[in-house]
Amino acid sequence: MSKPSLTQGFLVEQAGVLSLIQDAGRFGAFNIGLTNGGPVDLPAFKWANRLCGNKLNSTAIEINIGGLTLTAQIDTTLAVTGANMPLTINGEKKSLWRSYHVKAGDVIALGFAAQGVRCYLAVAGGFSLAPSFGSTATVCREGIGGLHGGKLEAGDVLVCARRNIHNNLKKNLSLEDKLIPTYTDEVILHTIPSYQQKYFSSHQQRLFFSNEYTVSKSFDRMGYRLEGQAIACDIDGILSEGICHGAVQIPADGQPIVLLNDRQTIGGYPKIGAVSSIDTAKLGQLNQGGKVRFEPISMEQAHNLFHLNLSRFNRTELVVCD
């Protein structure tokens, strides 16, 4: 049996708008100013890995907007999940949310998303990269993770193992059509009204939870700036403190900012609440002009929804396909 090459995998022909190496994220490094990183749409990331028979933390590619083209240098298995981004293998159209066997020389191309923003491309065994501060997750602002601390570039080689290492994946797998997420232009964000809730009057809280907001042109992996009903706070600011994933900051202009994976580790804007992790994944698939409504939820309800979704994921069986 031949041994896998330690320098081959996938050659990046076109890097696309913003393609990033990500594992599940970098944790335990807030004390030195390093944020989490990791996939914005965690469920789609996990499904991509599961379709390849991987551990759920395996390193994959997050493709933002689209435009990524790769050439396989080895035989392996891959899967693409997430936004409605056209996928072709050797020019032939392929469906998302399923795995494919590819051979050395095959060209894998992703067009630009028609609905949603982010896709995830996983390979059997995951991409082989040395971790930085315990994770391969790329955070461009901090210049860490991935191949060189930034987005993928043409000419990069993403090393991975040949398929014969993963002979348990003899069949391609897919997710049932009825279980594939539908990405829309409108989402409801279940929000725990915690943090500095006391600094927002009951009237301002009612305004926040009863009005619709629009995704502005300023949205990225750090957070989504929204436009709509301004929310007033009884204080101008607070002492800088740690910020959780999904925190909803209210800056001086009263327009909410929902913070995501690449957020700063501390901040001094008052926070009216925090969006559940289930819903930040949905927010991360919205483009400019998308519509958002906030809905209050208790900590116990958020906990129950999280575990219900986790149980559903673990109980779902994949379908064997050609």
Domain segments of the chain as ranges = 9-181, 186-313
Residue (of 212, 176, 216) closest to 321 by Cα position: 176
Residue with tokens 């391969």: 136
Burial degree of 74 (CB within 10 A; 0-12, 13-18, 19+): buried
pTM of the model: 0.94
Name the CATH architecture for the domain at 186-313. Beta Barrel (2.40)
Q: What is the chain's pLDDT, residue by residue, as a tens digit (322 residues)?
A: 334 445 799 999 999 999 999 999 999 998 899 999 999 999 999 999 999 999 999 999 999 999 999 999 999 999 999 999 999 999 999 999 999 999 999 999 999 999 999 999 999 999 999 999 999 999 999 999 999 999 999 999 999 987 654 445 678 999 999 999 999 999 999 999 987 888 999 999 999 999 999 999 999 999 999 999 999 999 877 888 899 999 999 999 999 999 999 999 998 899 999 999 999 999 999 999 999 999 999 999 999 999 999 999 999 999 998 7
Residue-wise DSSP of 265-301: SEE-S-EEEEE-HHHHHHHTT--TT-EEEEEE--HHH
Cα-trace Rg, the chain: 20
Distance CA 262, CA 277 (A): 14
Residue 56 phi, psi (nearest 5): -70, -15
Instruction: Give me the phi and psi of 189, to 5 degrees please.
Output: -105, 105
Burial 89-126 (b: 16+ CB within 10 A, else e): beeeeeebbbbbbbeeebebbbbebeebbbbbbbbbbb
Whole-angstrom distance, CA of residue 116 vs CA of residue 309: 21
d(CA 133, CA 113): 32
